[in-house]
Structure 1
């Protein structure tokens, strides 16, 4: 049993598809399959139920993923840090973001974090609707600034840094375009773009891409999208509508699209990390972001006791 075999196992467990797992690892599918078979022989049981139509974890596979994933991520992080140290390079923290990320907090955050921790290099990684929680879960990034609620198991978040008014993105000539505050029940007449099935949990999808209005009327199904740009393209070509934050109105302004306030709960955002990642530096990042957000007057008021 070696680290590469476990990496192959975790990739297949994440993708539930040998071909896609091989692509993420830059390996051939046959090499991934052989690594899994070798691991199964070492453990004495099957990790996956395989058919011509689906791949699923067995109870043994689920137990291995639960026990091994945090350890593998920590080992890979430690090895990467040691390699950088040996090469005389600073430690690195990868922070994922979706859309505009920290918006106006980005520059002060980078400036103040770098001043406090010159030994650490920040790398920002743009994520998509499909990857913004998965990238944290699998260790691609150390943390990510995500819209809540949490979209996957095994994650936790720091204090809410922003809570933005929700905006409906519609074509410029849409009847809603001139509304001051839109009644969400009118969504029953429309179609919303949809997430890739299984990329986030139902709670997150229902909050950001609802299938029903508050009164239970069904909302139409628009095209499946992976990125914000794909969603905006769907809006501009009148294939479906999209909901974004008010801050995104300037970040994603386009002549073919209008932003209309809709009477739905605001979109909260916070820094998300793995529940098993207890590095103090991530908690320092939470505290720094909150201080900056308070200074800029955008941090939400604490919930009443």
Structure 2
């Protein structure tokens, strides 16, 4: 079984394909990213990434793992957010207004994203 931090490091590195950017994104050291991936590869028994001093790319096994895990991880993360939000008070009604066409387009897009993230909150434009 993979631990949460191992999954976060794996998914971030698979998306960034750069140890330094992955470390920045996760607020950890580059060495921590490297150690976590090495540990994960030992556990899996095969390389998940091909790396040189200039390039990082997913190995076929890593690509397969990413394609299987990413949607499940997104669902798990969303479920946790939905469980936590009512306790944090992200419910009720949000009323927003705008002037100007460009602002309206931006606001509608932002409202759709907010609705998706906070289904228990009513958004009124």
Separation in structure 2 between the aligned mates of residue 62 and residue 28 of structure 1, nearest angstrom: 24
The residue that corresponds to 1:69 in the other structure is 70
Separation in structure 2 between the aligned mates of residue 57 and residue 108 of structure 1, nearest angstrom: 37
| Stretches of structure 1 lacking an aligned partner (at least 5 in a row) | 92-101, 123-305
Instruction: State the superposition RMSD in angstroms.
Output: 2.9
Considering Cα pairs closer than 8 Å and 6+ residues apart, tell me whether 1 or 2 has the greater RCO: 1
Separation in structure 2 between the aligned mates of residue 75 and residue 55 of structure 1, nearest angstrom: 27
Separation in structure 2 between the aligned mates of residue 11 and residue 4 of structure 1, nearest angstrom: 10
More helix by share: 2
Largest Rg, 1 or 2: 1
More strand by share: 1
How far off is 1:39 after superposition?
A: 1.4
Over 6 Å off, 4+ runs: none
What TM-score do the two structures reach when normalised by structure 1? 0.32
How far off is 1:72 after superposition?
A: 0.9
Deviations 1:142-190 (A, max 9, x none): xxxxxxxxxxxxxxxxxxxxxxxxxxxxxxxxxxxxxxxxxxxxxxxxx
Q: How many residues align?
A: 109
| Stretches of structure 2 lacking an aligned partner (at least 5 in a row) | 93-101
Structure 1 residues 1-305: aligned runs within 5 Å? 1-90=2-91, 103-106=103-106, 110=111, 119-120=120-121
Separation in structure 1 between the aligned mates of residue 119 and residue 3 of structure 2, nearest angstrom: 35
Alpha-carbon contact 2:90-2:121 (below 8 Å) kept: no
> 1:55/1:105 Cα in 2 relative to 1: closer, same or farther (>3 Å)?
closer
Deviations 1:87-126 (A, max 9, x none): 33339xxxxxxxxxx643455774xx98xx982277xxxx
